[in-house]
């Protein structure tokens, strides 16, 4: 049997059957060559983005080996179904003997995928079937993925963009009609994060008054609005002195509103280290007065003092030492 020819013809016929939603024909094609079924299933479900659950179930039920690795990412069809959040297909695959505890080379597994994409119903179904150690790992991912519930929609993205641009009128209009002010946008950050980063004092003040969460950081590393603002201040100061002053006012407003001056990223980066690293003596002073830990170390063992020493910011070095910094 010439599999290359059969594969091409089989795919063409099966694709046509899927497009026409001919479930009987899909099921009958299983008798042609079951070895091809799982690869065809993966191709169609991924490339055609089939949303009809009956079609997906029919494709699933003709699969040859539900535990075969079917992608460059070392995924099984169950792992992909869990990522897509299609519970009926997940159940069908488990019923056909899919291994819920299969680990990819990257240590991904079905429950992990469901947690990462925040498919609660799929997670709840797979959790009792998953090994305890894997379930605990996935539970941690699920908790981190709660923020995905706030993922942006077009309205929220308009709001976040307005905040980033300093468009106070649009921000106020969005708030007045009930926008989720803590929504996370395409750049993995909130409107407050962006408004603060770019020194839009009036927008930052409005967002804080409306109850914006001061500690929601960038999804990739947890960088908070305060850390980002301090780190971005020197860039803005190069534009003009008025903008520099406004940025310092933003830092002060965040601190007065209760922003955690000792928050760190996943790599230990923090506000006072960012200020010392960029030579921002005013920000360093504000942070020290607010109780920033002058001796906190990042994951590389650096401190605000070591950064200032390396960069040659002698005034900041003196302030840090007078405030208790130790070499």
Per-residue pLDDT of the chain (327 residues; tens, 9 = 90+): 333 434 556 556 766 776 676 767 766 665 454 444 444 555 554 444 444 555 555 665 554 567 777 666 678 878 888 887 878 778 878 887 889 999 988 889 999 999 988 888 999 999 999 999 999 999 988 877 765 555 557 788 899 999 999 999 999 999 999 899 999 888 889 999 999 999 999 999 999 999 999 999 998 899 999 999 998 876 544 455 666 778 899 999 999 999 999 999 999 999 999 999 989 999 999 999 999 999 999 999 999 999 999 999 999 999 999 999 998
Let me know: does 60 contact 96? Beta carbons within 8 Å. Answer: yes
Token pair belonging to 232: 């971005």
Kindly state which CATH superfamily the domain 149-322 is placed in: Ankyrin repeat-containing domain (1.25.40.20)
d(CA 288, CA 277): 15
Q: What's the angle, vertex CA 145, arms to CA 137 and CA 259, rounded to 5?
A: 115
Sequential DSSP letters for 98-137:
--TT---TTS--HHHHHHHTT-HHHHHHHGGGS-HHHHHH
Domain with CATH 1.25.40.20 in the chain: 3-147, 149-322
- Could you tell me if 238 and 246 are in contact, meaning their C-beta atoms sit under 8 angstroms apart? no
- Report the topology of domain 3-147: 1.25.40
As a whole number of Å, the CA-based R_g of the chain is: 26
Asked if 317 and 301 touch (Cβ cutoff 8 Å), the reply is no
Q: What is the pTM of this model?
A: 0.56
3-state secondary structure of 221: coil
């Amino acid at each position: 049997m010439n599999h290359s020819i059969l594969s091409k013809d089989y795919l063409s016929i099966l694709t046509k059957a899927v497009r026409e939603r001919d479930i009987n024909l899909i099921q009958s094609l299983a008798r042609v060559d079951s070895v091809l079924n799982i690869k065809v299933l993966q191709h169609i479900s991924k490339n055609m983005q089939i949303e009809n659950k009956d079609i997906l179930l029919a494709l699933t039920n003709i699969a040859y080996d539900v535990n075969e690795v079917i992608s460059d990412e070392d995924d099984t069809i169950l792992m992909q179904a869990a990522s897509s959040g299609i519970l009926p297909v997940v159940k069908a695959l488990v019923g056909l003997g899919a291994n819920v505890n299969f680990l990819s080379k990257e240590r991904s597994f079905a429950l992990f995928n469901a947690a990462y994409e925040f498919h609660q119903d799929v997670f709840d179904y797979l959790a009792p079937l998953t090994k305890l150690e894997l379930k605990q790992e996935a539970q941690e991912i699920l908790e981190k993925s709660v923020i995905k519930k706030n993922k942006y929609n077009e309205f929220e993205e308009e709001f976040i963009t307005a905040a980033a641009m300093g468009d106070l009128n649009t921000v106020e209009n969005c708030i007045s009609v009930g926008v989720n002010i803590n929504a996370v946008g395409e750049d993995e950050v909130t409107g407050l994060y962006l408004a603060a980063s770019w020194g839009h004092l009036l927008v930052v003040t409005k967002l804080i008054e409306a109850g914006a969460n001061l500690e929601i950081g960038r999804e990739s590393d947890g960088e908070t609005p305060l850390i980002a603002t301090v780190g971005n201040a020197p860039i803005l100061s190069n534009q003009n002195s008025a903008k520099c002053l406004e940025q310092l006012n933003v830092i002060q407003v965040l601190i007065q509103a209760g922003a955690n001056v000792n928050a760190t990223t996943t790599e230990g980066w923090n506000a006072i280290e960012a200020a010392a690293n960029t030579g921002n003596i005013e920000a360093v002073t504000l942070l020290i007065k607010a109780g920033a830990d002058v001796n906190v170390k990042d994951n590389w063992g650096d401190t605000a003092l070591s950064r200032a020493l390396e960069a040659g910011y002698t005034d900041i070095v003196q302030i840090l030492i007078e405030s208790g910094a130790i070499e």
